[in-house]
């Protein structure tokens, strides 16, 4: 079978560049999977966990939205932020979750809180924690 290349890039760094057998990603319209030989595709990612399989091993990566492109057996992901599961700072994510919880509580009694922003921060924190636990 033809090999499939996976590259994950953020504005700061190349997070991953490796050959894989399969990738499962959190699309804005739901989870989807890509194998070698996939037709060209360009889609948007949501905040969630990406899985890539090499042999029998599943590996997990947190992605915070961005673009997912498949062309010529290469997957290129440009994400706002992305971290390999083993590089996620769990304590930092717990603190981000607590801050977001506090803001969402405040929003119930006080105007001027950006609820959508707090909800996004909460989703990033929860998905980082979920990815790190895999
Ligand atoms: P925080 O409030 O802790 O900064 P955040 O969700 O606002 O969290 P992002 O804007 O998504 O952070 O990311 C900013 C940068 O910090 C990115 O480079 C991202 O990879 C990194 N980052 C954020 N949280 C973590 C974490 N828990 N572990 C590892 N890297 C993180």
Please indicate whether residue 89, judged by its CB atom, sits closer than 6 Å to ligand 1. yes
pLDDT band, very low/low/confident/very high, at 27 (cuts 50, 70, 90):
very high
**Every domain range in the chain assigned CATH 1.20.5.440:** 89-132
Note whether 126 and 133 are within 8 A (CB).
Answer: no
CB 49 within 8 A of CB 61: yes
Write down the pLDDT at residue 112: 86
pLDDT value of position 21? 97
Q: Is 120 exposed, middle or buried (0-12, 13-18, 19+ CB in 10 A)?
A: middle
Which pLDDT band holds residue 129 (cuts at 50, 70, 90)? very high
81 lines ligand 1 (CB under 6 A): yes
Closest atom of ligand 1 to 83 CA is: 20
Q: Which atom of ligand 1 is nearest to the CA of 89?
A: 28
Q: What is the pTM of this model?
A: 0.94
Q: Where are the CATH 2.60.15.10 domain residues in the chain?
A: 4-86
Task: Work out the pLDDT band at 113, boundaries 50, 70, 90.
Answer: confident
Q: How far is the CA of 1 from the centre of ligand 1 (A)?
A: 37
- Taking a C-beta distance cutoff of 8 angstroms, is the pair 63, 77 a contact? yes
CATH number of 4-86: 2.60.15.10
Instruction: Name the one residue in this structure whose structure tokens are 């922003």.
Output: 117
Q: Does the pLDDT of residue 2 top 70, yes or no?
A: no
Any bridge partners for residue 64, and if so which? 47
Minimum-distance ligand 1 atom for the alpha carbon of 62: 20
User: Atom 9 (ligand 1): residue with closest C-alpha?
Assistant: 81
Convert the chain into a string of H (helix), E (strand) and C (coil): CCCEEEEEECCCCEEEEEEECEEEEEECCEEEEEECCCCCEEEEEEEEEEEEEECCEEEEEEEEEEEEEEECCEEEEEECCEEEHHHCCHHHHHHHHHHHHHHHHHHCCCCCCCHHHHHHHHHHHHHHHHHHCC
Q: How far apart are CA 82 and CA 21, in angstroms?
A: 20
- The pLDDT value recorded for residue 26 is 97
pLDDT tens per residue across span 36-90: 999 999 999 999 999 999 999 999 999 999 999 999 999 999 999 999 999 999 9
Q: Which CATH superfamily is domain 89-132 in?
A: ATP synthase delta/epsilon subunit, C-terminal domain (1.20.5.440)
């Amino acid at each position: 079978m033809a090999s499939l290349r996976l590259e994950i890039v953020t504005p700061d760094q190349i997070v991953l560049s490796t050959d894989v057998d399969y990738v499962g990603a959190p699309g804005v319209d739901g989870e989807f999977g890509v194998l070698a030989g996939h037709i060209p595709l360009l889609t948007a990612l949501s905040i969630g966990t990406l899985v890539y399989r090499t042999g029998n091993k599943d590996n997990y990566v947190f992605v915070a939205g961005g673009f997912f492109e498949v062309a010529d057996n290469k997957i290129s992901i440009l994400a706002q932020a992305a971290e390999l599961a083993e590089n996620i700072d769990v304590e930092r994510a717990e603190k981000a979750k607590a801050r977001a919880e506090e803001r969402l509580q405040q929003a119930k009694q006080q105007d001027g809180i950006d609820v959508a922003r707090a909800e996004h921060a909460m989703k990033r924190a929860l998905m980082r924690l979920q990815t790190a636990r895999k």
